[in-house]
Structure 1
Amino acid sequence: MLKRGRQHESLSDKIHRFRGVILVISVPLLLITFVLFLMPSRAPSDSFSNRKISPDNVILARADSSSSSRKSYAVIFDAGSSGSRVHVFCFDKRLDLVPIGKDLEIFRQLKPGLSAYAKDPKAAADSLQSLLDKAEAVVPQELRHKTPVRVGATAGLRQLQGDASHRILQAVRDFLKDKSSLKSKSDWVSVLDGTQEGAYQWVTINYLLGNLGKKYSNTVGVVDLGGGSVQMAYAISETDAAKAPRMSDGEDTYVKEMNLKGTKYHLYVHSYLHYGLLAARAEILNVEDSGSPCILVGYHGSYKYGGASYLASASPSGSGMNECRRVAIKALKVNESACTHMKCTFGGVWNGGGGDGQKNLFVASFFFDRAAEAGFVDPNVPVAKVRPVDFENEAKRACETKLDDAKSIYPNVGDENLPYLCMDLVYQYTLLVDGFGLDPWQEITLVKKVKYQNYLVEAAWPLGSAIEVVSSLK
C-alpha cells in the first residue's frame, strides 16, 4: 500500500520532498550562469575585441607592454668648428629627463669638425657615422622611427667661403635619409644663428630649473657670452610682445613664440654679432691707433681674429680701469647709435621692454670662465651669485698688474689670455652695466652647470633643441 501511494505523489510533493537536493545542485549552477553572464561586459577592456587585428597592432601591443613606450628620445648633433658632438636625451611622458643607464645623457665627440671637409661634402657627412651608430644603439629599436635627429652647425660652417656650407648640409641630410633609422627632416639640419642658440640656451636653463610650464614671470633671463657673439633671452608678456618693433627684411624678429610643456611663451631674444668676448677684443683694439689702455703693461704683440690682425700693445701711459672702460663704451657704440624704439640696449637694439622675465638673470659661458680664472668665483662650483661690480673690482686689480707679475697672481689664466685679462673683465662689466643697463649691485647668477635631480647638467643649447623638437611632436 505504501509503495502504491508514492506512485500517486503529485509533482509539488516530490519537489517538496527533494528540496534539499535541488537546492544543493541549483545554487552552484546559478552562480556559474551569473559569472558567464558577466564575462562579456568585461571583455572589451581585456581583449582586442574593439580593435582590428593586424601586424601593426601586435607590434603596438608589445610596445605598450614595455616601459620604452612611455619614453621619448632625441638625438642632437652639435657640429662645431673644433669637432662634432652627439647628445642623446630621454624623456618620460611628462617631458622630464630620465637616465639612460647610469647617465642622464649620452655624449660622444670626435675631431675634426664638418668644416674641415670643405672640399668633400660627402666625407663631411660620413664623418658622423660613428657618432650616429652610438646614438642609434642607445635608442630602443621600436622607437627609432619616431625619434628626431637634429644637426645644428655653428661657427665653423658659418665661416666657410662660397656654397661649401650649403653643400655640406645637403650631404648630411642625404646621409641621415639613407643611413639612419631615426626620424629626420630637411629643416632639422641647419646652421644655427645666434638667435636660435640664445633661445635654446634659455630653454635649457629654465627646463633644468623646473620653470617650464609655469607662467613667464617665474622664468629666468639668460645672457650667453660666446666668442663671436653675445645673446640675451628672456620671456616677456603677450602685451610687450605685441609692441615689438618690426625689423627690416632679412633680419630675425625680436620675439620667438615657443610652446613648451603645455605653455606658450613669448621669448625676447637677440644676438649681438661681433660682441662675443673674442670678437670684442678686436672691436676694442680697433678704437685706438696706438697702444691700448686695456693691455697689461709689458706686453707688445698682435691679436688675430676673423682673418685680420690688430696691434695689441700696452699704452705708453700704462693700463687702467677708467681709460679702458672709456674705450670699451666706445666699442659698444652705447651713445653713438640712435634709439628709434621705446628703449634700447646698445647699437640701437630694442631691449625687449624688461619685466618679470628678466628680474632673475643667469649669465653663462665666458662670464663664468673669466670669473673663475680671475679667482673671485670658485671654479669647482656649478653656479655662483655675483654682482656686476665684482667684475669692476677685479678689473681694477688686473689693470694695475704688470704682465711679469700677472702669472703668479692669476695662475689659472692661460698664457694666451693673460695680456687681455684687464680688457676682458672691463668689457664684461661694461657690457652688463652700460650695454644691458643692469644696476652694478644687482645680483646675477653665473652658471656653468645646473643641478637636475641628482645630476649636474651642462647649461648648453643641445638640450634646449631636444626639448623643443620633442614638445613639437607630442
Structure 2
Amino acid sequence: MSAQREMKEKNLWHTPVTIIITVIGVIAIVALVTVAVLQNKPLHQKYKYGIVLDAGSSHTALYIYEWPAEKDNNTGRVEQTHSCKVKGPGISSYASDPVKAGESLSECMQEAQLKVPKDRHQETPLYLGATAGMRLLNIENSSASDRVFQAVGEALQKSPFSFQGARILSGQEEGAFGWVTVNYLDDRLSQGLETTGALDLGGASTQISFISDSFDGSESPANSVTFRLYGNDYNLYTHSFLCYGKDQVLRLVLAHLTQSGLGNVADPCFHSGYMETKNYSVLYDSPCVSDRKPSGAPATFTHSGRGDFLQCQEMVKKVFNFTNCKYSQCSFNGVFQPLVQGPFGAFSAYYFVMNFLNLTDTSIPLEVVKEKLTRYCATPWNEIQQQHPKVKVKYLAEYCFSGTYILTLLTEGYNFTSESYSDIKFIKKIKGSDAGWTLGYMLNLTNMIPAEAPDTPLLPHAGYVSFVTVIALLLFVLFIVSLRPLWPSCSKQPQIV
C-alpha cells in the first residue's frame, strides 16, 4: 500500500515537471525559429550613385551608376542603371556659342534628377569628361575651349548633385579607363582572370589597350600604364590616335581626294549614284586637315560615289604611315605596339558600324567579311536608301567607308591577322552596362577598385559551421563523461517493484 502511495506521489511530482519542461522546450523552439526568420529576413537595400557625362566629339551621353551603400569599397558591384543621349552635337561644336553647350545638357540632367532618389542627390558625385573633340578644340583655340568648359561647369553646378568638375581626358586615360571598364564588368579583375583588350573608336580618336607578355614598358614608357587592382599588378599597353576617329579619317581621305580634283571628287568609299555638294571650308575646319587645304579651292565641290571596296581600302591606307618605325615593331605613324595578344572587346563606333553591316560575328572568316563588305559597297545608292528608309542620310552614306576603315585599321594598322581577328568581340554592353571609359573613370575617381584584394574570413561559412558543430559535440561528450562518477549513485536509488 505504501509502495502504491509512493508511486502515486512520484507521478504527481513528475506531471508538473513534465509540463514545465515541455513549455520551456516549446518556447525555446519558437524563439529559435523566430530569431532564425528575423535573422534571415531580407533587409531593405540602400544604394549610392554616381553620374558621368561623356562629352565626345559627335555627341554627349550621360550615365548613372549604382552600387550597394554598405559595400562602396572592395566588394560593391557598380552597375549602370540609366543612360541619356544629349540632343545635338558634342560640346566642342558650341565653340562660337558656349552657353548653348551648357544648355544642351539640361534635358538629360532633369532625367538624372528623376532617376536618382532625391535624398541621395547632394551626395551623388557628378563628373564630366571630354575626349578627342575638345582635345582638338583645345589645340585649335584654347580660349574657346576654356569658355565651353566654363559654360558647362556653370550649368552643372546648378544641379542638385555634387559636381566634381569637367576636364579633358588624355588619350592614354581614355584608353586605360576603357580597359578597366571592360575587365571590371566581366569580373576579370576581381577573379584574377586573363584580361580582355579594349578597342575604342570614336569620331575624332581611336584607342587600343591590352596586356602583352612581351611588353614591360621599357621600350616605350609613354605607352605604359601600371595598375594594382584587387591585389594584382597589371602593366598595360595603351595608345590613343588623335585624328583617327572615323569622322576625322573621312576628312583625311576627302582631303587627299580633293588634291587631284577640286570641283568634282569621285569617292570609291561611297555608293555609286551618291552625289552631294559640300563646302570646302567645312571639310578643312579641323586641325587634322587644316594644313592640307589646297590653294585656290572653290567654295564647294561635288562629292560623288563609285562604290569600290578595294579602291576605298587603298585610299584609307594612304592616311597611315607604315614606313617610319624606330622601335622593334610599330602599328602605324611610328608608334610602338607589341603584337596583339588575347581576346579583345571592340566598342563604341566599332560596334555600331559592324552591327549595322551585320558583321559582328567574328567567327566568320575575315575573307568572307571582306567579300560581304565588297558587295555592300557595290550596291547602288538608291537601293541602299530603299533598304534603310529610316536611317539618316548622313550616317547611311558613310557605312561603306566606316566599315572599310575599321577592317583596314584592325588588320593593317593594329596588325590583327586572319586568325587573331576571331579573338575580337564587337560589344555594346556588358551585363547591362555600356562598354566605354566612363565607368572606369568613375571607379578611379571614387577609389571603388581596391589596390589590394578584399579581406576574407579565416574559414568559409560552411567550414565555420562545421567547426562550431564539431567543437559543440566535443564539449557535450566531455560534459557527459565528466558526470561518470555520479552514475553508480544514480543506479543505487531504491527501485519500486
- Which interval holds the TM-score relative to the shorter structure? 0.5 to 0.7
Q: Name the structure 1 match of 2:218.
A: 243
Equivalent of residue 459 in structure 1, options 414, 432, 435: 435
Q: Name the structure 1 match of 2:332.
A: 346
Shift of 1:229: 1.7
* 1:169-318 paired onto structure 2 within 5 Å: 169-170=149-150, 182=162, 184=164, 188-215=165-192, 218-237=194-213, 240-246=215-221, 253-288=222-257, 289-290=260-261, 291-302=266-277, 305=283, 307=285, 312-314=303-305
Give the distance between the partners of 1:143 and 1:408, measured in 2 at CA.
47
Q: What amino acid is the match of 1:74?
A: G
TM score, norm. by length of structure 2? 0.64
Q: What amino acid is the match of 2:330?
A: C
Q: Which moved more, 1:408-417 or 1:339-348?
A: 408-417
Give the distance between the partners of 1:419 and 1:181, measured in 2 at CA.
41
Question: Is the 1:259–1:471 contact (alpha carbons within 8 Å) kept by the matching residues of 2?
Answer: no
Give the distance between the partners of 2:269 and 2:397, measured in 1 at CA.
9
Question: Is the 1:148–1:469 contact (alpha carbons within 8 Å) kept by the matching residues of 2?
Answer: no
Number of aligned residue pairs: give it: 376
TM score, norm. by length of structure 1? 0.66
Q: Name the structure 2 match of 1:167.
A: 147
Shift of 1:349: 0.9
Q: What amino acid is the match of 1:440?
A: S
Question: Is the 1:286–1:310 contact (alpha carbons within 8 Å) kept by the matching residues of 2?
Answer: no
Shift of 1:76: 1.4
Question: Which blocks of at least 5 consecutive residues in structure 2 are unaligned?
Answer: 1-42, 287-299, 451-497
Residue by residue over 1:240-280, the C-alpha shift from the partner in whole angstroms, topping out at 9 and shown as x without a partner, is 2332425xxxxxx2122334344332222111122222222
Question: Is the 1:222–1:233 contact (alpha carbons within 8 Å) kept by the matching residues of 2?
Answer: yes
Give the distance between the partners of 2:392 and 2:112, measured in 1 at CA.
35
Equivalent of residue 429 in structure 2, options 450, 458, 470: 450
Distance 1:229 1:157, change over 3 A: closer
Q: What amino acid is the match of 1:242?
A: G
Q: What amino acid is the match of 1:255?
A: S
Secondary structure, aligned partner of 1:151: strand
Q: Name the structure 2 match of 1:79.
A: 55
Give the distance between the partners of 2:119 and 2:210, measured in 1 at CA.
38
Secondary structure, aligned partner of 2:273: coil
Shift of 1:152: 0.9
Q: Name the structure 2 match of 1:402.
A: 380
Q: Name the structure 1 match of 2:411.
A: 433
Distance 1:224 1:156, change over 3 A: closer
Give the distance between the partners of 1:273 and 1:310, measured in 2 at CA.
27
Give the distance between the partners of 2:132 and 2:216, measured in 1 at CA.
29
Equivalent of residue 324 in structure 1, options 309, 312, 316: 312
Residue by residue over 1:138-173, the C-alpha shift from the partner in whole angstroms, topping out at 9 and shown as x without a partner, is 26858955x543211235544374413223434655
Distance 1:155 1:329, change over 3 A: closer
Question: Is the 2:230–2:449 contact (alpha carbons within 8 Å) kept by the matching residues of 1?
Answer: no
Distance 1:325 1:447, change over 3 A: closer
Secondary structure, aligned partner of 1:213: coil
Distance 1:445 1:451, change over 3 A: same
Q: What amino acid is the match of 2:244?
A: Y
1:153 matches 2:107: no
Distance 1:199 1:391, change over 3 A: farther
Q: What amino acid is the match of 1:201?
A: G
Distance 1:165 1:421, change over 3 A: closer
